[in-house]
Amino acid sequence: MGRAVEQGAEDGPERPRHIDTVYLAGLRQDLDTPITGIIGYAEMLLEDAGPDEDGYREDLGKILDAGRGLESMVHQLFDAKMLEQGEFDPTQLGSSIRHELRTPLNHIIGYAELLIEEAEDAGQNARRDDLRKIRSSGKILLELIEDLLSTTEQATELELSGSELTSVASAVASSFEKIEDESRTDKNLRGRLLVVDDNEINRDMLTRRLTRQGHEVETAAHGRAALAMLKESPFDLVLLDILMPELNGYQVLEAMKQDEAMRHIPVIMVTALNEMDSTVLCIKMGAEDYLHKPFNPTLLKARVEACLEKKKLRDREAEHLARIEDEQRKSDGLLRVILPDPVVEELKQTDAVRPRRYDGVAVLFTDVVGFTPWCEGREPEEVVARLQELVEEYERIARRFRLQKIKTIGDAFMGAAGLLDPVENPVLNSVQCGLEMIRVANELQAAWNVRIGIHVGPVVAGVLGKQQYLYDLVGDTVNTASRMESHGTPGAITLSRTAWDSIDAVAEGESRGVVQVKGKGEFELMRFVRFKPGAPGPDEPQGGKPQESDA
């Protein structure tokens, strides 16, 4: 920052040092706030004035013209370009403020007092209150001018640095405005808006303007309150002041964009400062747009509606994507009901399922003894309900013992062990599963007796069909397992000799002799009797932990 004065030529006179950017921003921020109130309230009062109130409208017009003149002078006095070019001289500040600002300001206060008296006489309380706000803003501005005059005089006499002047004025960050020409508006677009500003006049002005445009508006006096309100209820748009105590606008914007629930809410940054670097920073941080105070009502309306329109489109897109994802989840869930999970994943990734050969797969078939006679004389609803109950129990038991359900055909159930989920002894898992199926089927309401057959060997697995997928097994092993079931004993598990050899060390059984199996020739059938002492029982599945059941 250096000294408040700097030397010219070697023998030249000293001249005052140019006040720094931060101080300039602080002065302009302090002066702009009450000017915003004067212009804003005057514009709204003019909008509400009746067509036969020519004198009243003329006086309001004088107030408005004076306010706009003040705004223009403040922007000229505190132009950042003057500072950068070394043309800003603090010794001229007092003179400029004294002669150029006080006169229109006195006009504003004077006309406001006259109109207040007229409103009181006419009993127009709402109008009187707004005129009082204009007068109050004018008096606040007068006080600021006196303080600034005193400050700049001391700066010249005491050679204060820019940083010391900043502590006298309000502490501000360098912030700049971006105004783009946006003309697209939607007159029917309405939203729930949050106005965040530490200045009561600014909050009131924005609220009034936005409410007139049909929006629902809430306000917050500082950043912490704003974040709390955003967490409690949804908003469509936030108009956020940059220069605030506790949390400034940058910090609030950063917190919003880091929060998953708030990051989608569009933000318009609002400030009295006018430099491009701040605009770029806010946009990079995620702000939707930028507005300068005091704001133009038409521009405000256009910017707000443009942001709401973008949010509405984003919300529609998010809703559409959510519906697509929901339909995908439903489709995926339905697919997993029909096909095993590994098959579904392959189908989703490659749009096809390659047929595969698997060795050492134990295939299990079940059949309800006397099912057809049982169905005779019963209502269809009862038949389907009892069968559904049985199949659901079979599915639960198959998951428990790590068998893959292949399909059901009427009262028949087909499952396989060691197919997609490798287990240590597929036949042993199948026998354990079959014992539980026999027990549960007999305990259900229908009290069915079940016949079970098991064989082990190679199978070919693949997805069949186009309109209705079916993951199925084919091959000699499947046919043989089916024959074991059909030649089996009710209430027992019948195994081929090949399958029995896989559990001979842990199980006791009896040979049912050699039978002639259609299409297969002679086969020795083995009936499972019990597990040997110390061998795993039906509650101890082999090959790892069982899958969780639905029970």
Q: What is the CA radius of gyration of the chain?
A: 43
- Burial class for 10, CB neighbours closer than 10 Å (0-12, 13-18, 19+): exposed
- Catalogue the E-assigned strands of 93-136: none
What is the rounded distance in angstroms from the CA atom of residue 309 to the CA atom of residue 315?
A: 10
**Residue 36 near residue 294 (C-beta atoms within 8 A):** yes
Residues 143 and 226 in one domain: no
Domain that holds residue 77: 5-168
**Residue 195 near residue 235 (C-beta atoms within 8 A):** no
Residues 158 and 57 in one domain: yes
Phi/psi for 376 (5° steps) reads -65, 130
CATH of the domain at 125: 1.20.1410
The answer to the question of residue 547 being in a domain is: no
Residues 102 and 249 in one domain: no
User: 10 Å Cβ neighbour count for 189?
Assistant: 18
The answer to the question of residue 321 being in a domain is: no
Q: Give, rounded to a whole angstrom, the gap between the first and last alpha carbons of the chain.
A: 77
**Residue 456 near residue 499 (C-beta atoms within 8 A):** yes
Per-residue pLDDT of the chain (551 residues; tens, 9 = 90+): 333 333 333 443 343 344 455 556 666 677 788 888 899 899 999 999 988 998 899 889 989 998 888 888 877 776 656 655 555 555 555 555 555 777 788 788 888 888 998 899 899 999 999 999 999 888 888 777 776 666 555 554 444 444 443 333 333 333 323 323 333 334 457 899 999 998 887 888 888 889 988 999 999 999 999 999 999 999 999 999 988 888 889 999 999 999 999 999 999 998 765 556 777 888 889 999 888 776 777 788 888 998 998 888 888 888 888 888 888 787 777 777 777 888 888 877 877 788 899 999 999 999 999 999 999 888 999 999 999 999 999 999 999 999 999 999 989 999 999 998 899 999 999 999 999 999 999 999 888 999 999 999 999 998 887 777 788 899 999 999 999 999 999 999 999 999 999 999 999 999 998 887 777 778 889 999 999 987 765 555 554 444 443 33
Q: Model pTM?
A: 0.47
What is the rounded distance in angstroms from the CA atom of residue 338 to the CA atom of residue 149?
A: 83
The total domain count for the chain is: 3
Residues 286 and 142 in one domain: no
Task: Answer with the one of 264, 292, 312 that is the final residue of a domain.
Answer: 312
* H or E element at residue 298: helix 297-338
